[in-house]
Structure 1
Amino acid sequence: MVKDNYDDFNDKYYGNSNISAGDVMHGTHVSGIIGASRDNGVGMDGIADNVALIEVRTVPGSGDEHDKDVALAIRYAVDHGAKVINMSFGKPISPNRNWVEGAIRYAQKHDVLLVHAAGNDGEDITGAPNFPTQFYGPNNSESFDNVITVGASGAMQDDLVAEFSNFSKTDVDVFAPGVQIYSTLPGKDNYGSLSGTSMASPVVTGVAAVIRSYFPKLTAPQVKQLIMASVTKINFPVINPATGKRLN
């Protein structure tokens, strides 16, 4: 449809300018969580009030993101001044993983933080990445320091790990609110609630934007470490979404 040669990574001038084609609810909702106008008495408040958003239409409304599109979207955002990139998408297989890893290195070189949703399969993704991932190299032994992976949390103790959220002691860095999040929807003055790690990721993206706006000299890895070090520690067992049993 967009007339690109998928096997040629240098073929990057394809697509069209119609960002409203297909379903735009997901991206609209995510954007509102990050940067909807605050304190105006309309709808809801975004996380960050000193942020500019660049919309890069990367994934069709029905999903099925291509590695080429993801890699080129990251590079496009970096080249156009993004300091934090929200990635509310993911998949279990990455046929051209090297293209995406190259784009992550490009973002790393330009001090850009990437915030990625952990995925909505309710599974332990240790050793089974939800791509794109921060891990690379033989047996995924290396890790990018500019990628933070986010799981979804609920408001109550029993759904503190949302029943749909992927989780991992090593592959998920933080959890953020992702259950029944109220945000912008397509159309004038239209708002509603959605759930998913796609909603949790922009919460962290918004926090990262606030940090980088107040402390612009902090590097992307420093912002990641600051977020991870300042989370609320949980001292009680939570329910494992994969088994329904409590775990520490």
Structure 2
Amino acid sequence: MGYNEKELQEAYDHYKTEAEVQLNPDYNARQTIIGDNPEDTKDHNYGNNDVIGPDARHGTHVAGIIGADRNNDLGMKGVADNVKILVVRAVPDGDERDKDVANAIRYAVDNGAQIINMSFGKAYSPQKEAVDEAVKYAESKNVLLVHAAGNESQNTDVEPNFPNRKLKSGTEPNNWIEVGALSWEPNKVANFSNYGKKGVDLFSPGVALYSTVPGSKYEELDGTSMAAPVVAGVAALVKSYFPKITAAQLRQLLIESTVKFPEQQVNQPGGEGQVAFGELSNSGGEVNAYNAVKLALEWEKAGKIK
């Protein structure tokens, strides 16, 4: 079997990078590229304006679900019409560090974000206090946090997914909403979706969502990463018409306005058999934009939204 010069060079480059970076315990990418100490959570003076990174497919897809142009007759329509996207990249590729999550939340809040979509998660959080403080900071600034529940088919009441709203102090903020993924298939719930009677608030579509990707293209992707921006988009839609609604009210409204079918039997994510849909989240419901706007109008008429 013969190899041409291009193939040999590609193989050489691949294994050279693997040896020097991926398999090198002394390689410190943070120090080499960014110049910060990842263990110092008080350090905020680092990073750059490269939001594309090694791959912008995931983030571009998420952004399109929230706010792709609804009037250009191209591809698909985002959930919200009157919305601006502030792009903050918390991780280049892979599990994000707590320090970066905390600083990303603070940066978004300080730069005017009113709703923060967080389509990422992990199974551990060694610096959770820093993230908790950032979550509380967002709460103090009246900013809603929308988080994807994760794709491990796990009960997050038993197997935690981070970041989450369960602060180490034992309290929970009122500006956090956790989102599981639904499927268009008859079993309703996406087989990969995490769930939790206490930890997940509601579900939204997360299978085969068609949205934007780099290069002026469109693709179908699956994940709670796709379900969360549907909810963030509905939140932005409501906020655009009712700008005085608080983050806590917005969270409550999104949950109360869900289409509820708690007794419906759905497939158990990741397992065999069925379970009542109401056992998979605390609302037993699916996000619904029409209901959310309708309820907001009722609240405004009643003087609940000042």
Which bracket does the TM-score occupy, shorter chain normalised?
Answer: over 0.9
Moved more, 44-53 or 129-138: 129-138
Q: Which has the higher helix share?
A: 2
Structure 1: runs of 5+ lacking an equivalent: none
Output the aligned Cα RMSD.
1.1
User: Residue 156 of structure 1 aligns to which amino acid in structure 2?
Assistant: E
TM-score (norm 1): 0.95
CA–CA separation in structure 2 for the residues paired with 1:97 and 1:11: 16
Partner deviation per Cα, 1:188-229 (whole Å, 9 max, x = no partner): 2x0010000000000000000011111111110110010001
Number of residue pairs aligned between Structure 1 and Structure 2: 243
Partner deviation per Cα, 1:90-138 (whole Å, 9 max, x = no partner): 0110000000000000000000000000000011111322111011236
User: Residue 165 of structure 2 aligns to which amino acid in structure 1?
Assistant: Q
CA–CA separation in structure 2 for the residues paired with 1:176 and 1:149: 11
Given that 2:129 and 2:168 are in contact with CA atoms closer than 8 Å, whether structure 1 keeps it comes out as no
Partner deviation per Cα, 1:33-60 (whole Å, 9 max, x = no partner): 0000003210100000000110001112
Aligned residue in 1 for 2:251:
224
CA–CA separation in structure 2 for the residues paired with 1:195 and 1:153: 10
Moved more, 27-36 or 11-20: 11-20
Aligned residue in 1 for 2:155:
124
Matched, 1:34 2:66: yes
TM-score (norm 2): 0.77
Given that 1:124 and 1:242 are in contact with CA atoms closer than 8 Å, whether structure 2 keeps it comes out as no
Aligned residue in 2 for 1:151:
180
User: Residue 270 of structure 2 aligns to which amino acid in structure 1?
Assistant: A
Alignment of 1:148-227 (within 5 A): 148-158=177-187, 160-188=188-216, 190-227=217-254
Percent identity (aligned): 51
Which is bigger in relative contact order (C-alpha 8 A, separation at least 6)? 1
Structure 2: runs of 5+ lacking an equivalent: 1-32, 277-306
Matched, 1:72 2:103: yes
CA–CA separation in structure 1 for the residues paired with 2:209 and 2:237: 19
Partner deviation per Cα, 1:65-100 (whole Å, 9 max, x = no partner): 000000000000000000000000001100000000
Bigger radius of gyration: 2
Equivalent position SS for 1:203: helix
Q: Extract structure 1 runs of 4+ deviating beyond 6 A.
A: none
Given that 2:132 and 2:168 are in contact with CA atoms closer than 8 Å, whether structure 1 keeps it comes out as no
